[in-house]
Amino acid sequence: MQASDRVTIADVAGASGVGIGTVSRVINGAANVRQATRAKVLKVIEQLAYRPSHLATALSRGTSRTVAIVVPHVTRPSAVERLAGALAVLAERGYATIVCNVDTASQRDQHLAALTARHRADGVIVMSLALSPDHLTSFRRANVPLVTVDLAARSVPHTVIDDVAGGRLAAEHLLALGHARIGFIGDRARRGLAATGGSTSSERRRAGLYDALRAAGIGVDPSLTRLGPHGPASAEAMAAELLAMPDRPTAIFAASDTQATGVLAAADRLGVRVPQDLSVIGFDDIEPASLLRLSTVRQPLQESGAEGARRLCALLRGERVLPLRQVLPIEVVQRGSSGRPAGQSRQTSCRSGSHSSLNSALEAR
């Protein structure tokens, strides 16, 4: 048994006394090989510890069965859930998956440029990322199949949710509970990155909130909207601002569960009880949301990645993928962080009444 490094199909052919064509047939399980020949070749392969060269196979076949995923901020729970959903589908179908994390616009451009090289990846999935017309054009010109997730791109198959409707759902949930002053905590769009189709999902969710407020005849108070960098710390600071207002909101809608977590922390620090003094609703339904009893708008994160992967696979099989725009369902999940505002305690929706908030708990430590 020698090192499989440097052992080629020719070595196997030589040692088995057959041609390399036959060895190739054996490797690929072609039918037209005599049983005895097959056995002999397999034995030699075993003895020589022969492993086919993936590169040679791929070059010869013209495909490496590799796809690439471009995803921003991979450490965020929503991103990693999507990624995991896609990885599972792709692995099951025998695709290797290159993961390109991007935290800056220049990283994004670099990765996208690299992926339009010939034979780099059979196809590409782009998630939650601003894609310029130029980007789209280079993929088209390079003839690299592309699908997107959490991002609408014209003439490219995309899997999304209706963020505006999601914002509306969150708002309607709070409105139904009797809230009239509803604050919003969301992302300040960073130049270039994290924007999708001209607006971020945070921005669209805010739009949905405003829609609902107007529809309810309440109108929008811009002073209740705060935008800042993503992340719990920033959300906490912004929520603290809202809670310090003389006429503070009775409810806050956060554009993501991560930010909602920050809102809970802020309420805590200020001794504001949730949900008695403040209702909070987030977006995404990431794992910790359930533990924190956070009401939220759930979107199928893993499933979105899985669907993106399935659609890319279909594309790679040469199928047409229709409809181009796939919209996944969302729903409100009510937990303990949302309830009727003070003075409207009739028919309280939450399970119990007199408790300290997560927030005051946090402050305690």
Partner DNA sequence: GTGAAAGCGCTAACAC
Partner DNA sequence: GTGTTAGCGCTTTCAC
- Contact of residue 362 among DNA, its own copies, none (CB under 5-8 Å per partner type): its own copies
Taking Cα atoms as reference points, which of 49, 341, 302 lies closest to residue 175?
A: 341
Q: How far is 61 from 50, CA to CA, in rounded Å?
A: 20
Binding of residue 10 to its own copies (CB under 8 A): no
Does position 53 interact with DNA (CB under 7 A)? The reply is: yes
- Contacts to its own copies from residues 59-78, by CB under 8 A: 59, 64, 66, 68, 74-75, 77
Q: For residues 307 and 89, give the distance between their C-alpha atoms in angstroms, rounded to a whole number.
A: 9
Please pick, from the candidates 10, 113, 245, 327, the single residue that binds DNA as defined by CB under 7 A. 10
The amino acid at residue 340 is R
Pairing label, strands 331-333, 295-298: antiparallel
Near its own copies by CB under 8 A: residue from 41, 45, 80, 270: 80
39 binds DNA (CB under 7 A): no
Please select the residue that binds DNA; options are 15, 33, 127, 238, rule is CB under 7 A.
33
CB of 246 to its own copies, least distance (A): 26
Cα 215–341–230 angle (5° rounding)?
70
Tell me the three-class secondary structure of 215-253, residue by residue.
HCCCCCCHHHEEEECCCHHHHHHHHHHHHCCCCCCCEEE
Token readout for 279 is 């209702």
* CA angle, residues 59, 62, 64, in degrees to nearest 5: 75
Q: Which stretch binds DNA (CB under 7 A): 11-19, 255-263, 285-293, 302-310?
A: 11-19
Asked whether position 61 contacts DNA by CB under 7 A, the answer is yes
Window of 56-64, 221-229, 241-249, 316-324 that interacts with its own copies by CB under 8 A = 56-64
What lies within 8 Å, CB to CB, of 47 at 6+ separation is 1, 15
Closer of 35 and 354 to DNA (Cβ): 35
Closest CA to 255 of 203, 191, 327, 215: 203
Work out whether 113 is an interface residue with DNA (CB under 7 A).
Answer: no
Give the rounded distance of the alpha carbon of 264 from its chain centre: 24
Residues 95, 68: Cα–Cα separation, whole Å: 10
Residue nearer to DNA on the CB measure, 61 or 365: 61
Q: Which is nearer to DNA, 17 or 288 (CB)?
A: 17
Residues 13, 81, 175, 332: which binds its own copies (CB under 8 A)?
A: 81
Interaction between residue 335 and its own copies (CB under 8 A): yes
Minimum distance from residue 211 beta carbon to its own copies (Å): 28
Q: Does 141 bind DNA (CB under 7 A)?
A: no
**Residue 125 contacts DNA per CB under 7 A:** no
- CA dist 107 and 74 (Å) reads 13
Q: Which is nearer to DNA, 118 or 191 (CB)?
A: 118
Q: Is residue 288 at the binding interface for its own copies, with CB under 8 A as the rule?
A: yes
In the complex, the smallest distance separating the C-beta of residue 9 from DNA, rounded to whole angstroms, is 3
Specify the DSSP element, H or E, that contains 358: helix 358-364
Choose the binding region for DNA from 51-59, 217-225, 283-291, 328-336 (rule: CB under 7 A). 51-59
Contact present, 328 and 302 (Cβ < 8 Å): no
Q: Interface residues with DNA (CB under 7 A)?
A: 6, 8-10, 17-22, 24-25, 27-28, 32-34, 36-38, 50-53, 55-57, 59-62, 118-119
